[in-house]
Amino acid sequence: MAAAEQLRFGVEGRGEVSALLLRPTKARWLLVLAHGAGAGMSHPFMEMLAGELSKVGVATLRYQFPYMEERRRVPDAPGVLTATVAAAVRAAAEAAPNLPLLAGGKSMGGRMTSQAAAQHPLDGVRGLVFFGFPLHPPKLPGTKRADHLTKVTVPMLFLQGTRDTFADLKLLRPVCAKLGPRATLHVMETADHSFHVLKSSGRTDAEVLRELAETTASWAEGI
C-alpha cells in the first residue's frame, strides 16, 4: 500500500492544520475523515481504517482539528470544529478534483461533520459516514445530539456496535427510522464504541475493520 501524502490546509482564524491523503490507484471515492475527541488522525484505529478503506477503493483525507494540532486536550468550540470540517472538504476537493466526496468520522468527528452539513451543505459531498455516532454520553441516554440530523440533506450511514455506550440502539433505531431513506443503520454485534469485539463473537477486530470498510464502499455505490 502506498504511503499517505502529507498535506496542510488553513482554517479561518486558526492557522493551518495537518492532513494525510491516502489514495489507492483505483480509487472511486474520497472520504474526508475526522478523528474522535481523544485521539488524532494518526491513531492506530484511524490508520487501520484508512488502510482497509483503501483496499476497497475509498481514498481518505484524514485531518487534525486545531486543538489536536496544537496538542491540547480539550476540543475546540463547535464553531471551530465545523469550520475545520468545511475547510477539510474544500482541501479534499482540491487534492482530488476527479473523485466524488464522502465526509464523516469517528465519534465526535462524525457528529461535527453532520453539524457542519446541517448548517450549510458541504460542497460536493454526496453522503456522510459515522463510525460510531455519539448519540449521548455514557449512562446519560438521550437523543438531543441527533436533532440537527433532520437538516442534513444527503444520505447518512451509521456504523454502530451493540455494546457502544455512546449510542443506545433502542434510541438510535427510532432516530434513523424518523430520518427515512436518508439514513442507513449497520449494526455490528458485540462491537463497542472503539469497534472492539468480544472473543465470544468468534471475530477479530481486524475483521470488524474490514466490515466497516466494505460496508462503506458498498453503501457509497448505492447512493
CATH class for the domain made up of 5-221 = alpha beta
Give the pLDDT confidence of 93-123 residue by residue, as tens digits: 999 999 999 999 999 999 999 999 999 999 9
Residue ranges of alpha helices (H) inside the chain are 44-55, 66-69, 78-95, 108-119, 169-179, 205-221
pTM summary value: 0.96
What is the per-residue pLDDT for 1? 67
One DSSP character per residue, 46-76 reads: HHHHHHHHHHTTEEEEEE--HHHHTT-SSPP
Which residues of the chain carry a pLDDT beneath 50?
A: none
What whole-number distance in Å separates Cα of residue 56 and Cα of residue 138? 33
SS3 of residue 95 by DSSP: helix
pLDDT value at residue 68: 97
Helix (H, G, I), strand (E, B) or coil at 6: strand
